[in-house]
Structure formats: C-alpha cells, structure tokens
Amino acid sequence: MFGLMDQFRRPTGRRGRFVAALMNRGHKPLTLWGLTHVKIEPDYVILDVGCGGGKTVSRLADKAPLRKVFGIDYSADMVEYSKKLNKKLIAEDRVEIIESSVEKTGFSDDFFDLVTAIETYYFWPSFSDAVQEIRRVLKPGGHFLMVNEMVKDGVYDVRAAKTIEQAHVDLISLDEIRNTLEAVGFEDVQIFTKSESPWNAVLSKKH
C-alpha cells in the first residue's frame, strides 16, 4: 500500500499519522462487527490496547458514558494522534490515552471490566506474556475481546503471504489463540468468524 506496509506495526511520524487516519476509517466495519460480540454496560471501565489512531476509544466511550475508557499504544505518535482525536472526551475526563506497552500496561490488578485489542495482537513480542498482563488488569468476571481481519487458517495466510510478510505480521491460528488464553487462565473462550471472510473475534472471560 504505497510503501506504507511497514507502518502498521508501530506507526511513526508523518507516514504513521497518515496510516492512523487510514486505520480509523478502514477498520470501522471490522470494529463495529467485532464489538457486537460483547455486551458493554454504560458504567464499564474499558482499556483498548494498541489503540492506534484512537477511534475505537471514542466508540467505546459512547457505549460506556458513565465511567472511563483508556487507550494505550507504544507509539508516542499514536498517543499524540489519539489524544487529539479524543480531545473533548479527555477534557470531560471520560478518556485517557497513555504511552505504554501491552506487556507492561502499568495499571493495577482487577481494574477493567473490558479490554479490547483490534488488529494488534500479531505485532506483540509475546502473545502469552501480553494476555497474562491483560488478565491481570481485568476484574474477575471481566472480558477480553480481540478482533482481527486476518487469520492463520492455511488458506488466507497463504493467499495473503506477501502482505503478511511486508507488514511484519506474526499470525497465530485460532486454536493456538484459544490454547494460550486457556493456558494463562481465561475461561469461556468463544471464537466468532464472519462467513466468507477472514474476520474473527475472540471473546474470553476472567473468572
């Protein structure tokens, strides 16, 4: 995509800001589809990890107007971009955007009702370490929702091999995702797929 493929992993600088705008628009249908798989109460405290351009944070704040939605990203430029996009919600103390990594979020134990991760897990250095950290910051009974437009199923990943390589995407199969979530203690793992597309959403719960 016009030499921007290397930007999705950690959007930076002018090209990164361009990619953030593209993602905020382009990920809308996928994100709206993904969010249909979890019930969001108005008083939820929510974390969006790898928030990129910050549009998911605004959408979540609309669904949970009574408390606060946090977004984290390890790209300082994405944090700045998300802060600008969510300026009004930040001024109302309904949103906070923080530069931080998913492996070490910096939040207290049992803090969130819901953690979302849209189009980001395949850039994390260790999926297992990251989901362990996400489980730590979830309240008992809290949910973790991952939403992705790519899948490793032996068909899509073969067809899209070039894109996957250019974007430095490290896909793992849905079975492996389920196994890792269960291994770190998540329960009720549910996998949703959209027919005739590689889209998938994985919902799990901390008991």
Ligand X SMILES: C[S@@+](CC[C@H](N)C(=O)[O-])C[C@H]1O[C@@H](n2cnc3c(N)ncnc32)[C@H](O)[C@@H]1O
CB 135 within 8 Å of CB 184: yes
Q: Which of 73, 113, 133, 149 binds ligand X (CB under 6 A)?
A: 73
- Considering only residues 124 to 153 of the shown chain, the ones binding ligand X according to CB under 6 A are 124
Tell me the H-state helices in 36-186: 55-63, 76-85, 87-91, 127-137, 156-159, 161-166, 174-183
Q: Closest distance between ligand X and the C-beta of residue 167, in Å? A: 8
Residues 6+ apart with CB under 8 A from 173: 151, 152, 153
Which range in 37-45, 89-97, 117-125, 183-191 contacts ligand X by CB under 6 A? 117-125
Q: Where on the phi/psi map is residue 110: left (φ > 0), alpha (ψ -120 to 50), or beta?
A: left
Binding mask 18-57 for ligand X (x = CB under 6 A): -----x---x----------------------xxxx--x-
Q: Which of 47, 57, 61, 78 binds ligand X (CB under 6 A)?
A: 78
Q: At residue 63, what is the residue type?
A: K
Q: Which of 5, 6, 10, 160 binds ligand X (CB under 6 A)?
A: 10
Q: Closest distance between ligand X and the C-beta of residue 88, in Å? A: 20
Structure tokens at 22: 């593209």
